[in-house]
Chains A and B, each alone.
Chain A
Amino acid sequence: MKQLLYLSLQYVRYHRIKLLVLTFAITLVSWLPIAIQSIVDQATEELLDRADRTPLVIGAPGSPLELSLGSLYFRSRTSTTLPYAEVAALEKTGLARAIPLYYRFRVQDYPVVGTSPDYFEYRDLKIAMGRQVAILGEAVIGAKVANTMGLGVGDQIVTSSESVFDLAGVYPLKMPVVGVLAPAFSPDDEAVFVDVKTSWVIQGLGHGHQELNRSEALGQILRREDDNIIANASVRQYNEITVDNLDSFHFHANNADNPISAIIPVPNDNKSAALLLGQYQEERQDVQIVRSQRVIGELLNTVFTVRDYIVVGVALVAIATAIVALLVFYLSLQSRDGERYTLARIGAGRFQVRVLMAAEIVTVLVVSAVLTSLLVLATRRYGMALMQELLLT
């Protein structure tokens, strides 16, 4: 037995290039269909799960896919908005509660999601450290944001400018991190949550500045007209909301007119959901209500179609590879006639000769199977992240 093993190893060593190529080809064609299937299954499960939990979304007229991807995964920076008054309008129907979302801004690559405290309850998000957002200007960050940026409670984050060339535009807002969410294994892990009004401050719709009635502001005042003070652009605006300057923050417009990206309706029950859907689809042309499951389902159907084409292609390649492998093995066995004759002459039994011949095939198949298994495990671990990157960015 020891001799058989020795001879087999020597054979493998001598023909290593041929066997490596063969092993690689078989591994690849075995792994590829399983990997595609695994990734698609995980993506499907995750996408549908989020859509199942958020069956309806309301937004401005436009692309339903953009609206669903934005409100479910914060992956859209759509410029279409609807007025905050729609939140009150939805709640007035008595059919659902309304959770506003405004995801236009970013802290580095992470979306800043302006919402209400109901969102955390709705998504069952738990605070791992610190507390919930309470005051204007505070932020709660997702677990991944905390890990990758190395942030914790008490640290500060700064919103990213929309355009570095817009010198007269909105300045970044510095926000204290008051809470870190426990990992939710969802897009919420990669978001920075603030109150929706804080988003409006980031946009410049609300601001705080030095009191213009006070003597220290004299240098900034251009003129007084009755009860109106007209100041120049040098009025110092605060880029951070603190206990000391909180009272000076105010909004120029009525909140009802301020923008939001979407609303998640939380219907009272199935009947309310159906009534709401009908009511909005029939009576409202200025807003759209979408069924996330349907939109995400359509997206997945596209993915499935692409997957099917790939799988068919891979299957054909697999068949061709299998035929080539069989041919290689057959030719290899043919070319080893002399070897078999020599083995027989030096006293090897028929069984021993067969084992030696089979060793080549067994080695290739066993190594391929092991490599395929490792690759499948890696795919299951990291495939979803890869899929999300491909699909949603």
Chain B
Amino acid sequence: MPNSLFSFLISVFFSLLLQGCGERQIPAQQQLDSASFIIATNGPLKYFAQRLLEDKVEVRMLVPEGTDPAEWRPDVDAVLQLQKARLVLLNGAGYSSWLNKVSISSNKLVNTSASVADQWIDLEGQVTHSHGPGGEHAHSGYAVTTWMDMTLARIQAAAVAKALHERWPEHRELIAANLTGLLSDIDALDRGYQEQAGRLAGRKIIFSHPVYQYFERRYGMSGQSLHWEQDAMPTRDQWQHLEKIIDEKALFIWEAEPSKKISIHMSEMSVASVVVDPGANPAGTDWLTIQKKNLASLQQVELN
């Protein structure tokens, strides 16, 4: 009994001591530690991040070579990598449609075109549906190749710089210095595209794919978009359709270099063609080089 009493008194003492401590200070939280690498969801964003940070932080792109990042879906391993990244650069405009189907912390995600969401181009003709109490809803919305309008690419580059600066403040000066150079290069591309658009004004433009909406709007190069693959010979009907819509001044803009057979067939039809690659997933090169190549190709288009 005396031992029990002693134990009780000791317990009461400590309990009172605990109560006497009162409210504690809000402790500093441990920083949630994510590995220091960046994942870019397309070629331009990868280029912007690499150009701004040089080799200070690893920039990864999980999309396999030859796959359109807009069509890519991450598998489980890719999602686990995305979860570990410190920063995931998104294009915005619904480019990464898989985002709602994977588990990633929102603080890692930076939508680089969010500030110009009002400039995203609505895709018309989307089928909506309604059933049950949920009401009517559509499943897709915007054109995604935002960076083909260089003024938007400029804003996206600045958004990347801001995100990098927030996460790696120790490289602030490097990022700022490289941003100046990057924006200057993008401005030069913008001037170049404007110049070529002016030179080619009046030409009937046909695009191999409907991915040039922002390019068309910015540079006034409106045209008709088809669904032609550069490595798949178009059907007879497709050639006949092309024949109907072209004139002697038509210019066919390819997303990538077409096969030799297709090129020969187009030459036979006297259709001028040029490659303007958006550079969504550059293989063995970078986005800026591709854009410069696009400009050089446009410069070589002869005026009829």
Is the C-beta of A213 less than 8 angstroms from some C-beta in chain B? yes
Closest chain A residue, CB of each to CB of B8: A33
Question: Interface-forming stretch among B16-24, B190-198, B221-229, B288-296?
Answer: B16-24
Q: Among the listed B1, B19, B100, B132, which residue makes an inter-chain contact with A250, where contact means beta carbons less than 8 Å apart?
A: B100
Q: Which residues, 18 to 55 on B, are CB-close (under 8 Å) to A?
A: 18-19, 23-29, 31-33
Give A122-139 as 1s and 0s: 1 = Cβ < 8 Å from B's Cβ atoms: 100000000111111010
Complex contacts, B29 vs chain A, CB 8 Å: 55, 96, 122, 266-268, 273
**Complex: A197 Cα to B103 Cα, angstroms:** 8
- Contacts A250-B139, A273-B28; is A229 near B129 (CB within 8 Å)? yes
User: Of B7, B28, B129, which is in contact with the most chain A CB atoms at under 10 Å from its CB?
Assistant: B129
- Contacts A228-B128, A297-B23; is A121 near B103 (CB within 8 Å)? no
Q: Among the listed B14, B31, B129, which residue makes an inter-chain contact with A41, where contact means beta carbons less than 8 Å apart?
A: B14
Give B76-119 as 1s and 0s: 1 = Cβ < 8 Å from A's Cβ atoms: 10011001000000000000000011111111000000000000
**Complex: A87 Cα to B108 Cα, angstroms:** 13
Is the C-beta of A393 less than 8 angstroms from some C-beta in chain B? no
Is the C-beta of B137 less than 8 angstroms from some C-beta in chain A? yes
Complex contacts, A80 vs chain B, CB 8 Å: none
Contact in complex: B80, A118 (CB < 8 Å)? no
Complex contacts, B101 vs chain A, CB 8 Å: 135-136, 197, 246-247, 249
User: From residue A94, how far is it (CB to closest CB) to chain B in Å?
Assistant: 8
Contact in complex: B102, A136 (CB < 8 Å)? yes
Complex contacts, B135 vs chain A, CB 8 Å: 252
- Tally of chain A residues near chain B (CB < 8 A): 79
User: Of A41, A44, A227, A251, which is in contact with the most chain B CB atoms at under 10 Å from its CB?
Assistant: A227
Is the C-beta of B127 less than 8 angstroms from some C-beta in chain A? yes
User: From residue B222, how far is it (CB to closest CB) to chain A in Å?
Assistant: 23
- Contacts A136-B100, A250-B137; is A233 near B1 (CB within 8 Å)? no
User: From residue B149, how far is it (CB to closest CB) to chain A in Å?
Assistant: 25
- Contacts A26-B1, A297-B23; is A135 near B8 (CB within 8 Å)? no
Is the C-beta of A294 less than 8 angstroms from some C-beta in chain B? yes
Complex contacts, A250 vs chain B, CB 8 Å: 100, 137, 139
**Complex: A55 Cα to B128 Cα, angstroms:** 45
Contact in complex: A270, B25 (CB < 8 Å)? yes
Contact in complex: B11, A41 (CB < 8 Å)? yes
Q: Which residues, 96 to 133 on A, are CB-close (under 8 Å) to B?
A: 96-100, 116-118, 121-122, 131-133
Contact in complex: B83, A88 (CB < 8 Å)? no
Is the C-beta of B284 less than 8 angstroms from some C-beta in chain A? no
User: From residue B74, how far is it (CB to closest CB) to chain A in Å?
Assistant: 8
Contact in complex: B132, A55 (CB < 8 Å)? no
Is the C-beta of B184 less than 8 angstroms from some C-beta in chain A? no
- Contacts A131-B76, A228-B129; is A116 near B104 (CB within 8 Å)? yes
Is the C-beta of B235 less than 8 angstroms from some C-beta in chain A? no
User: From residue A72, how far is it (CB to closest CB) to chain B in Å?
Assistant: 15
Closest chain B residue, CB of each to CB of A205: B134
Closest chain B residue, CB of each to CB of A96: B29
**Complex: A297 Cα to B19 Cα, angstroms:** 9
**Complex: A274 Cα to B23 Cα, angstroms:** 14
**Complex: A225 Cα to B107 Cα, angstroms:** 40
Contact in complex: B76, A135 (CB < 8 Å)? yes
Contact in complex: A38, B11 (CB < 8 Å)? yes
Contact in complex: A252, B137 (CB < 8 Å)? yes
**Complex: A288 Cα to B1 Cα, angstroms:** 50
Complex contacts, A91 vs chain B, CB 8 Å: 106-107
Contact in complex: A116, B103 (CB < 8 Å)? yes
Contact in complex: A131, B26 (CB < 8 Å)? no
User: From residue A179, how far is it (CB to closest CB) to chain B in Å?
Assistant: 11
Complex contacts, B236 vs chain A, CB 8 Å: none
**Complex: A53 Cα to B28 Cα, angstroms:** 10
Contact in complex: A98, B106 (CB < 8 Å)? yes
Is the C-beta of A365 less than 8 angstroms from some C-beta in chain B? yes
User: From residue A65, how far is it (CB to closest CB) to chain B in Å?
Assistant: 16
Is the C-beta of A56 less than 8 angstroms from some C-beta in chain B? yes
- Contacts A37-B15, A55-B26, A197-B100; is A230 near B129 (CB within 8 Å)? yes
Is the C-beta of A291 less than 8 angstroms from some C-beta in chain B? yes
Complex contacts, A304 vs chain B, CB 8 Å: 15, 19
Contact in complex: B12, A270 (CB < 8 Å)? no
Contact in complex: A267, B28 (CB < 8 Å)? yes
User: From residue A126, how far is it (CB to closest CB) to chain B in Å?
Assistant: 14
Complex contacts, B127 vs chain A, CB 8 Å: 212-213, 227-229
- Contacts A30-B4, A252-B134; is A121 near B32 (CB within 8 Å)? yes
Is the C-beta of B136 less than 8 angstroms from some C-beta in chain A? yes
Contact in complex: B11, A220 (CB < 8 Å)? no
Contact in complex: A132, B80 (CB < 8 Å)? yes
Give B117-146 as 1s and 0s: 1 = Cβ < 8 Å from A's Cβ atoms: 000000001111111111111010000000
User: From residue B166, how far is it (CB to closest CB) to chain A in Å?
Assistant: 8
User: From residue B172, how far is it (CB to closest CB) to chain A in Å?
Assistant: 15
**Complex: A361 Cα to B140 Cα, angstroms:** 86
Complex contacts, A40 vs chain B, CB 8 Å: 15
User: Of B73, B100, B105, B136, which is in contact with the most chain A CB atoms at under 10 Å from its CB?
Assistant: B105
Closest chain B residue, CB of each to CB of A228: B128
Lowest 3 CB-CB distances: which A-B pairs, in order?
A195-B103, A37-B11, A134-B79
Besides A132-B103, A134-B79, 17 other A-B contacts (C-beta < 8 A): A44-B18, A52-B27, A55-B26, A87-B106, A98-B106, A116-B105, A118-B32, A121-B32, A212-B131, A227-B125, A228-B136, A247-B73, A269-B28, A274-B26, A293-B23, A304-B15, A372-B4
The contact sample of 14 A-B pairs, CB cut-off 8 A, is A26-B1, A30-B4, A34-B11, A40-B15, A52-B27, A97-B32, A97-B105, A117-B104, A121-B32, A135-B101, A228-B130, A247-B73, A291-B23, A369-B1
